[in-house]
Amino acid sequence: MRTTILAGGHWTTVGPAWRSLASGQPVRSFTRSAAWAEARCQAAGTDAARWIVVADDDGPLAVLPLEVRRRRWGPLGLRLLVNDRTSDGLVADRARPHRLRRAVLEAMADRGEPVDALELHGLPAGSGLARLAAAGPHGLAAEARHGGHSVIDTRLPADAWAAGTGRNLRSALRKARNRFERRGALEVTEATAVDALDAALDEFVAIESSGWKAASAALASRPRQHAVMRRFLRAAPPGAATVRTLRLDGRPAAAQITYQAGDTLDLIKVAYDQELADLSPSNLLMADLVRSCCGRPDVARIDLVTRQEWHRRWHATVRPTYRARDANLRRPGGLGLRGAAAVRRTGG
């Protein structure tokens, strides 16, 4: 078993391994697409990024995008290997997770970066990183407070979906549409071609910057995330990525970035113009998205990627995500973490 650790920007090495593994696995999420992996690998990042490629004589076994983080725990300085919940890894079916875990820890030590623990979170069922995390002695734990991701089932006619949403939502959408159309013409446009996606992303960034996200969470204020998204949209397979924009007399009022992975449509990001908030443009665009997916035989569900309070009004089902802290018992910090965890379990 051979393990290569790269600090990012090495898609010429990571890409062939990723594509080899992806060819035998269904792409269930944008986080498992080659376009997203390439965008994250190539975009200028921090010194913390590590791309771990594990292979044997039969070919690639795993590609794992992780990060090195430092943390203090009492008198101990810990080095942790963690994930970003917006990314996933790929693991071959023939890989043995326990051997994979050992290879990762040994390779980090050989590199001069021994880690005290693997801390992985936000892992949906079936993800590659979930397979790695399950190899720890305590396995996976469902995330209760901040975990989960919301899913809307679209395997029914649009009218049946609307009937099941409840009177309050239907009334609110009807009133919002009436307010909107009293102000001007309502139109939803979809950008799917590369040139159109570039321009549509620029509009999205401008819309997002008008609201509460502008100070810290908007793409305009996060250059690396902005670069990743642009690279992703440019590298996505034709027709897979879409920027949907709701317009008022041509003016962008709300926008969504989506990606179709198999029969799942991921709703990656949403934004609306704060100056038009009284017209509920984001709700109108969301209703249009659900109705359009209900009419498509190739889309069985919309994955909202995260779990947020506003998802409830759309009658979304929450699916669990998982986390794991896997202490490295060959390190003092790992032993300390394991001891503290044992104390918590026994109530001591």
In SS3 terms, 238-288 reads as: CCCEEEEEEEECCEEEEEEEEEEECCEEEEEEEEECHHHHHHCHHHHHHHH
Highest mean pLDDT among 124-133, 214-223, 335-344: 124-133
Q: Higher pLDDT residue, 114 or 210?
A: 114
Nearest CA to 107 out of 328, 260, 341 is that of 328
pLDDT, mean of residues 92-118: 93
pTM above 0.75? yes
Percent of the chain scoring above 90 in pLDDT = 71
- Compute the distance between CA of residue 25 and CA of residue 9 in angstroms, rounded to an integer: 24
pLDDT for the residue numbered 341: 61
pLDDT for the residue numbered 217: 72
Q: Higher pLDDT residue, 298 or 43?
A: 298
Highest mean pLDDT among 105-119, 201-215, 246-260, 312-326: 246-260
**pLDDT per position as a tens digit, 208-229:** 988 666 666 788 888 889 999 9
- The amino acid at 274: Q
Going by pLDDT thresholds of 50, 70 and 90, the confidence category of residue 346 is low
Residue 137, burial from CB neighbour count under 10 angstroms (0-12, 13-18, 19+): exposed
pLDDT, mean of residues 312-330: 90
pLDDT for the residue numbered 335: 81
Residue found under tokens 């913390």: 48
Going by pLDDT thresholds of 50, 70 and 90, the confidence category of residue 137 is confident
